[in-house]
Amino acid sequence: MKKRAPNLRSDMDSFVPKKKKKLIRVYDVNDLFTTEEEPRDEHSTEDENDEEAVASSRNTSHGYHLVRGKMDHGMEDYLVAENRKINGHHLGLYAIFDGHSGRDVAKYLQSHLFDNILSQSEFWKNPKRALKKAYKITDDEILDNIDGSRGGSTAVTAILIDHKRLIVANVGDSRAVLCRNGVVRALSVDHEPEKEKEMVERKGGYVSQMPGNVPRVDGQLAMTRAFGDGRLKEHITCEPDLTSEIIDDDDEFLILASDGLWKDAQEASEKLISAALELGSKDDISCIVVIFH
């Protein structure tokens, strides 16, 4: 039987706008994340006292939500979801940072990564090159300024320029997907040890299936690209994969999410975090939904 392409539209009717809004509206995505057992952290980007911020965002809306998982550690996910106006351009800045072995690296990324990206002189002419430089600069800062060498973080970032040009960069296994005409398209790739085994070995490392029968770099890290992880830095990289899209009327929304959403739901795109929770995801879950209208 031919497998049906994932169709998000029917599952997302609760927050897909029915008609164009004149002002920013943050759509409530809490219903996708409901769980009685776990604490939540939820925020709004709406600011009724900031007329410029509202006016500059009339063509996009975003909502975001975090759920702490059942693992025996504190919340290690951080995110950014904000709008800025720079040099006459509107920027939508969105990111998920999924920390591991501590929260310090993810927290640092939340505070510094976008500032480092936007401070690159070539950002407006060559944003992809600017992102690569900023990722490396930020990783060097982390290794110099954060004590310890165990902690690290993924990063999936999306920059929407003037509501039209979308640039996505990712390091690790957090993901970005775009819904176009109701059909999902992946904008990121998971940086898994088996996929990039040759790179790891070329750098002098190795990939093993232990512990837990999960491929790991040097038997420790289940991804080949990450910020931080100083003790493994010689064998991994922080260089992102990048993709760009022109957003038009066929594009409906963008989803960024940590692996806590995707790992336990093969069809997670269809039911988002509801599916991940129903299928028993124990990891922290963070998700940003950006709607184009």
Torsion of CA 59, 184, 65, 84, to 10 degrees: -30
Q: Distance (Å, rounded) from C-alpha 220 to C-alpha 232?
A: 9
Using 50 as the pLDDT threshold, list the residues of the chain that sit under it: 1-58, 69-70, 73, 264-270, 273, 275-277, 279, 281
Two tokens, residue 194: 């088996």
Delimit the domains of the chain by residue range. Answer: 45-292
Two tokens, residue 46: 């709406």
Q: What is the pLDDT of residue 54?
A: 33
Q: What is the pLDDT of residue 224?
A: 97
Q: What is the pLDDT of residue 68?
A: 55
Q: pLDDT tens digit string along 191-232?
A: 999 999 999 999 999 999 876 788 999 999 999 999 999 999
Residues 6+ apart with CB under 8 A from 48: 54
Q: What is the pLDDT of residue 133?
A: 98
54 sits in which H/E element? helix 51-55
Q: What is the pLDDT of residue 14?
A: 38
Query: Would you say domain 45-292 falls under CATH 3.60.40.10?
Result: yes
